[in-house]
Structure 1
Amino acid sequence: MINRSYLHTGLCLVSLMLVACSSTEKREDFTSLATLEREAISNQRVTQWQQLDDAAPVNYLSDLIQDEKLDALIEQALQANPSLQKMQLTLQASLWGIKSQRGDRLPSVEAGLSSSKSEGNSTQYSADVGIRWEADLWNKLALSEASSTKTLASDEAQYQASRDTLAANVMKSWLAITANARAIEIEKKRLALLQSNEALIIKRFRNGLGDLEALDEASTSTAQSQSDLAKYQEDLAIEKRNLQLYLGSTDPLLISANVDYPTVALPLASLPEQTLHRRPDLKAAYLSIEAADLNTSVAYKDMLPSISLSATLSETAESPTKALFGSPIWSLIGQLTQPLYQGGKLEAAAEIAKLETAQAYQDYKDTLLTAVNEVDNALGQESLLLVQKKYTQDALLSAQKNLLQYERKYRTGLVELNDLINAQTTAFNLEAELDNIIYQHLSNRVNLGLALGLGVQGS
């Protein structure tokens, strides 16, 4: 005959199972939606993105510019930048948090030893050992740990994104130092010529061959060039300080600018391996959806019954040795708990978790759209700068030929000095403009590589 207590327990378990089933709810699969969003955009864009260049494929940002000095600067920044180091320490703390969370799935053991004495009696010693374990009946603890693991993976992807951005900033700052140094050299040449022209105009004015307006105009041009030169010099100093900040150092930056711009590869030849799938910020956003979805599952399982077991061994004796090593009395308690009413707290937590999953999905969509926008903008700039570079090169070549003609005509007295100065000004302006376009073009290729998900090697 079945014991009535067992029957009651079985009926209770069946009713709790029915409650558990009624507490679950179908939810929208945001992770699948996120995958479909990404695949749809990639399929729309990949053909367009493949039609730009036939350069050799690259795998990392450092492959864009082959330079040992730059590689050393990037490595120094990755090792010493304080913001990056702070993120790394946060990741380490999160890892220890997951290890601590795993302990919730294991039995906990506690031991205690106490003594008491009352008047007229000898000292009594009590020793006890307690063991407690909560059965992961609904896989709730495992899901909670999995959610934390997904969150950690998302944080690691964000950390990788920060590493990639830092490396790109170092590369662009390094290019900017070269650009500013070249701008200084161009302006120095312009200033030397303007000062020579001014001296010639002064000499002609003293000989009665010029007018005061020409002298004032020459002085104005010289002063403007001196102002521009001072600005370019300060721009160079600022860029060096920016690089120093990226490197996480307060020591003066001892670096000499390159005379010529380096070659910067364009990472489009092997685009099927360089689509948005490689972007770590997109990976982080996707993992955040998975983590939020797991948290939602945990929130629903908080409404389900829980089973915990506890065992206690205790002994009281007249000495610590007997209390610890005597014949203890043991007790075993099994507890089944079902949340019935908490003022809607558990239901609200589940709804909040669902909304947070939906928010994570919207964050993913925003990150995806931003990524596409960054790639499209960088590609648009690539095309524009290529056109500007070509036409500015043609314009500069024509201006230099025109300048040679004006110099010959001026020596033979066919044109005035003012005409020669205008031709010189046009040539210098175009030279400076072309140099800036080349810098913007190279810097944009770094932006394009970063937008396509190229990063730095290692962790």
Structure 2
Amino acid sequence: MRYFFILPLVLALSACSLTPPLVKPELPVPSQFPDNVQRTQGLAYGADLDWRTMFADPRLQRLIRLALDNNRDLRVAALNVQAVQAQFHIQRAAQLPGIDLNGAMSRGRMAADAMADGDTASVREQHSVAFGLSAFEIDLFGRLQAQSDAAFARYLATDQGHRAAEIALVGAVADAYFAERLAQGQLQLAQQTLTDWQQSLDLARRLKQADQNSGLDVAQAEGQVATAEADLQSRQRTLAQARNALDLLVGAELPAGLPEPMALDDRPVVMRLPAGLPSDLLLRRPDILQAEQNLLAANADIGAARAAFFPRLSLTASLGFASPAMSGLFDSGRHVWEFSPQISQPLFQGGRLRAELRLAELRKSVAVAEYEHAIQAAFREVADGLAGQATYGSQIDAQARVVASAERRVALSGQRYRAGLDGRLELLDSQRQLYAARQTLLDLYSQQLSNTVALYKALGGGLVSEAADTLAGTADLDGKVAR
């Protein structure tokens, strides 16, 4: 029994760690984004805007909520978090002793010449019950702790990956929704254009009947109407495909009674996100936090690989009772115990341990490069979004003036054509120019919305109300911070 007091002493001594200190690399990007405008006073960072605040369209808000509840890819990401969490608990359990209660009964017959006391052959029984500690490794050099730290970091990385997937889903639903709204707007424009060009065809036919123009004008008008009809079919197909893409992201049948959508030019999104942002804001993005946790895991793997060079001490012990008769199993004098410490030191492994250490160091170098690349990619995404934010408004205003000018030209060309001052070709050209200008304006509205959504995602925003329990949240069973 006295040997069992050795166990707490050994556990107290097992505090050595060979994991190297982690020094995160400096940010491989400038300290400020390329934007000279000062940040708007009182406007939160994109990472601090809830998606309900960001997206003002009530219909889009309902669709995002449905997607967060039903999207299958997001569901897989959530299950992966649970799987990695279970793996972490498995790894952490290796640091604790496993105690089993074992009961056994044996009954057998031995030959007479095999009996030590010369007795005749007989049937003998043996009964036992014991608490056992089986091959518990004392973590003298921190190998198990390093493996547990690596598993925990990978759990946090997966959790951050799940948050990144949520933000990506919010952005994807918004993009798909605006693509559907664009397709709907293009379809309405095609229908309006077809109606206008059919009226122009009717005018050309009436003028032909009055001998005020030639058959060439009628043929041109008929070709123009046929082009509009073909374009209308194309717009209907695009709208159906856009709705299919949105349905896939939502992951559920759209309920009846959804709010009416807002028009693209009604600003269904907060259009002005802050400028003059510091680049270290990127460190709040879930994908960068995920890369950072992967770096921590790779660093912990080095500690485990280093510890593999040193001796391993394991303990096997049992305490219980044994008796040839079940009735006397717990009688006085029937208690038994066994204590078997074992130490092993690697001597020759054919270079395997050194190769494993080298592999762990290389994987850490890869994790550092991936961490830096994630920051650089995020910096570019934000910089691109800020560039779009600075230019799309002025471009849309200019294009709106182009549309207004094209509308005046169509009106004047129509008057001159009906008065016989201009030929059909001038009217045809002005109508086509107006159609193209309106299409371009619709595209710019959609691009501006997509750019704003992309900037919002790049700043790490979208889920404040649902992700308040992130790394600064509740404490894990191990006393560590977890979601």
Deviation at residue 391 of structure 1 after TM alignment: 2.2
Select which of 167, 172, 175 maps to 1:169: 172
Deviation at residue 288 of structure 1 after TM alignment: 0.7
Deviation at residue 239 of structure 1 after TM alignment: 1.0
Counterpart in the other structure of 1:121: 123
C-alpha distance in structure 2 between counterparts of 1:130 and 1:218, whole Å: 95
Residue 210 of structure 1 aligns with an amino acid whose one-letter code is: N
Establish whether residue 68 from structure 1 lines up as the match of residue 58 from structure 2.
Answer: yes
Counterpart in the other structure of 1:342: 349
Residue 239 of structure 2 aligns with an amino acid whose one-letter code is: L
Residue 205 of structure 2 aligns with an amino acid whose one-letter code is: I
Alignment check: 8 A CA contact 1:402 1:423 kept = yes
1:211-239 C-alpha deviation (Å, 9 max, x unpaired): 23222221111111111111111111111
Establish whether residue 455 from structure 1 lines up as the match of residue 455 from structure 2.
Answer: no
Alignment check: 8 A CA contact 1:274 1:452 kept = no
Establish whether residue 51 from structure 1 lines up as the match of residue 37 from structure 2.
Answer: yes
Select which of 98, 101, 105 maps to 2:88: 98
Counterpart in the other structure of 1:276: 282
Alignment check: 8 A CA contact 1:49 1:268 kept = no
Question: For the structure 1 residues 96 and 50, does the alpha-carbon distance in structure 2 shift closer, same or farther, using more than 3 Å as the test?
Answer: farther
Larger deviation, residues 299-308 vs 93-102: 93-102
Question: For the structure 1 residues 325 and 235, does the alpha-carbon distance in structure 2 shift closer, same or farther, using more than 3 Å as the test?
Answer: farther
Deviation at residue 333 of structure 1 after TM alignment: 2.0
**Pairing 1:315-330 to 2, within 5 Å after superposition:** 315-323=321-329, 327-330=334-337
Alignment check: 8 A CA contact 2:35 2:275 kept = no
Establish whether residue 138 from structure 1 lines up as the match of residue 145 from structure 2.
Answer: no
| Aligned Cα root-mean-square deviation (Å) | 2.8
Larger deviation, residues 427-436 vs 291-300: 427-436
C-alpha distance in structure 1 between counterparts of 2:183 and 2:39, whole Å: 28
Counterpart in the other structure of 1:223: 226
Counterpart in the other structure of 2:262: 258
**Pairing 1:31-50 to 2, within 5 Å after superposition:** 31-34=22-25, 36=26, 38=27, 41-43=29-31, 45-46=32-33, 48-49=34-35
**Pairing 1:41-440 to 2, within 5 Å after superposition:** 41-43=29-31, 45-46=32-33, 48-49=34-35, 51=37, 54=40, 56-57=43-44, 58=46, 59-60=48-49, 62=51, 63-110=53-100, 111-118=102-109, 120-132=122-134, 133-249=136-252, 257-263=261-267, 264-265=269-270, 266-269=272-275, 271-272=277-278, 275-313=281-319, 315-323=321-329, 327-440=334-447
1:151-173 C-alpha deviation (Å, 9 max, x unpaired): 11111111111111110011111
Alignment check: 8 A CA contact 1:310 1:332 kept = yes
Alignment check: 8 A CA contact 1:179 1:439 kept = yes
Task: State the TM-score, normalizing by the size of structure 2.
Answer: 0.81
Helix, strand or coil: the match of 2:122? coil
Task: State the TM-score, normalizing by the size of structure 1.
Answer: 0.85
Deviation at residue 317 of structure 1 after TM alignment: 2.1
Residue 274 of structure 2 aligns with an amino acid whose one-letter code is: L
Residue 280 of structure 1 aligns with an amino acid whose one-letter code is: P
Question: For the structure 1 residues 234 and 52, does the alpha-carbon distance in structure 2 shift closer, same or farther, using more than 3 Å as the test?
Answer: farther
Question: For the structure 1 residues 317 and 188, does the alpha-carbon distance in structure 2 shift closer, same or farther, using more than 3 Å as the test?
Answer: same
Helix, strand or coil: the match of 2:103? strand
Question: For the structure 1 residues 341 and 112, does the alpha-carbon distance in structure 2 shift closer, same or farther, using more than 3 Å as the test?
Answer: farther
C-alpha distance in structure 1 between counterparts of 2:213 and 2:321, whole Å: 117
Deviation at residue 204 of structure 1 after TM alignment: 2.4
Question: For the structure 1 residues 166 and 324, does the alpha-carbon distance in structure 2 shift closer, same or farther, using more than 3 Å as the test?
Answer: farther
Residue 113 of structure 1 aligns with an amino acid whose one-letter code is: A
Residue 170 of structure 1 aligns with an amino acid whose one-letter code is: V
Question: For the structure 1 residues 52 and 229, does the alpha-carbon distance in structure 2 shift closer, same or farther, using more than 3 Å as the test?
Answer: farther
Question: For the structure 1 residues 61 and 175, does the alpha-carbon distance in structure 2 shift closer, same or farther, using more than 3 Å as the test?
Answer: farther
C-alpha distance in structure 1 between counterparts of 2:241 and 2:255, whole Å: 12
Alignment check: 8 A CA contact 2:321 2:329 kept = yes
1:256-302 C-alpha deviation (Å, 9 max, x unpaired): 64344442223215834983122111111111111101001111001
Unmatched 5+ stretches in structure 1: 1-20
C-alpha distance in structure 2 between counterparts of 1:78 and 1:239, whole Å: 19
Residue 439 of structure 1 aligns with an amino acid whose one-letter code is: S
Deviation at residue 346 of structure 1 after TM alignment: 1.1
C-alpha distance in structure 2 between counterparts of 1:416 and 1:197, whole Å: 13
Helix, strand or coil: the match of 1:123? strand
